Amino acid sequence: MSAALRDLGAMTMLGIRGATPGDPALEEDLDACIHAGVRMVILFDRDVATGGERNVRSPEQVRVLTDHVRSRLGPDALVAIDQEGGRVQRLSRAHGFAGWPSARHFASLSEKGQVSQSRSMAIALHDAGIDLSFAPCVDVDINPESPVIGALDRSFSSESAEVVACAQRVLRAHQEAGVGCVLKHFPGHGSASADSHHGIADISRTWDRERELAPYRSLMSERVGVMTGHLILVRLDADRPASLSRVVTTGLLRDTLGFAGPVFTDALDMEGVRGRWSLEEAFRLGVEAGADVLVHACNSARGEYAPDVVRAMEAASLELEGLKPRATLSRERVHALVRPRSDDLE
């Protein structure tokens, strides 16, 4: 393994196939991670390309899987998942978990109810061996018909202050359980009329700067990560989405808002990126934008899995120089989100 690939691998999170140790697809993907120095993985309940089950079958099975991932990748490997509640929860009632409300339903609960639901979810994540949750979604519900946010009840509210209040209760519970949280989707997906899973969402005419940045401004002091979306804001960068834009990632998020935590890209295998850029280009642009973690879910209709992505990473690493300081800083920022694992929660 070249030094450049190892450093890029330290900044990459990959999706893996398989639910049980010994599954050939799982072991192949973990071998690819080891080859590239990848120590962060993300789990899914189903595989988009095949339509079948992927990593989640039961609470006990998920814990065996996450323990196995650490046995292969190292004790400090991080396991992530999307666990918002409602339509976006990989640990669902269908697989023996409690099941949790959507953001919109969550906001309608009493404060006591919100705290209870947040603690229940956080403890379930901890017990399953999950280190990092790509939640809460702090997109403001500006467009209730937004196909991937409002229409799916993924926003807490159309009021920024209520979004912040709900998010804080989620964050507190997860921090107490030692599970890191990543806010999404910067700089705001709530006004979009398009779904970035299927192409870049242009929010240039609908984005409300003050309302949509307000949750990030208010939550900057929390121990959180931020996910950048495949969202175009022509006034800031007419060529690249936020996830691949240095103007947005470094300029707006880092320099203007002063965010010092880890920045994650949205999944690079979504069509918002792959419809225009090759994998090699996506990795290079993500690094140049200033992202700490380049997320590739390995879970799209294209059927790109970890071995395919690692080959693209090898090619991209040849064009990237001086990554070691960046990789070191990225790892420090990510690990600061997550408390060392413990099994003493009640």
**Closest C-alpha to 266, from 290, 244, 243:** 243
Answer for the pair 252, 207: CB distance below 8 angstroms, yes or no: no
**Closest C-alpha to 73, from 142, 159, 13:** 13
The set of residues, in sequence order, having a beta carbon less than 8 Å from that of 62 and lying 6+ positions away, is: 43, 55, 56, 91, 128, 129, 130
Q: What architecture is the 3-335 domain classified under in CATH? A: Alpha-Beta Barrel (3.20)
CA distances from 117 to 84, 85, 141 (A): 11, 10, 21
Tokens of residue 123, six digits: 């403890």
Which of the residues 68, 185, 197, 296 is marked catalytic?
A: 197
pLDDT for residue 146: 92
pTM of the model as a whole: 0.96
Which of the residues 266, 269, 292, 296 is marked catalytic?
A: 266
Tokens of residue 27, six digits: 């072991």
**Closest C-alpha to 337, from 85, 110, 79:** 79
Q: What is the pLDDT along the chain (346 residues), one digit of tens a residue?
A: 788 899 999 999 999 999 999 999 999 999 999 999 999 999 999 999 999 999 999 999 999 999 999 999 999 999 999 999 999 999 999 999 999 999 999 999 999 999 999 999 999 999 999 999 999 999 999 999 999 999 999 999 999 999 999 999 999 999 999 999 999 999 999 999 866 676 678 999 999 999 999 999 999 999 999 999 999 999 999 999 999 999 999 999 999 999 999 999 999 999 889 999 999 999 999 999 999 999 999 999 999 999 999 999 999 998 887 899 999 999 999 999 987 665 655 5
Q: How far apart are CA 7 and CA 293, in angstroms?
A: 11
pLDDT for residue 197: 73
pLDDT for residue 342: 59
Q: How far apart are CA 263 and CA 147, in angstroms?
A: 25
The set of residues, in sequence order, having a beta carbon less than 8 Å from that of 264 and lying 6+ positions away, is: 13, 134, 182, 225, 226, 227, 228, 291, 292, 293, 295
Answer for the pair 180, 131: CB distance below 8 angstroms, yes or no: yes
pLDDT for residue 345: 57
Q: How far apart are CA 30 and CA 27, in angstroms?
A: 5
Does the annotation count 126 as an active-site position? no
Answer for the pair 184, 226: CB distance below 8 angstroms, yes or no: yes
Does the annotation count 197 as an active-site position? yes
Answer for the pair 332, 220: CB distance below 8 angstroms, yes or no: no
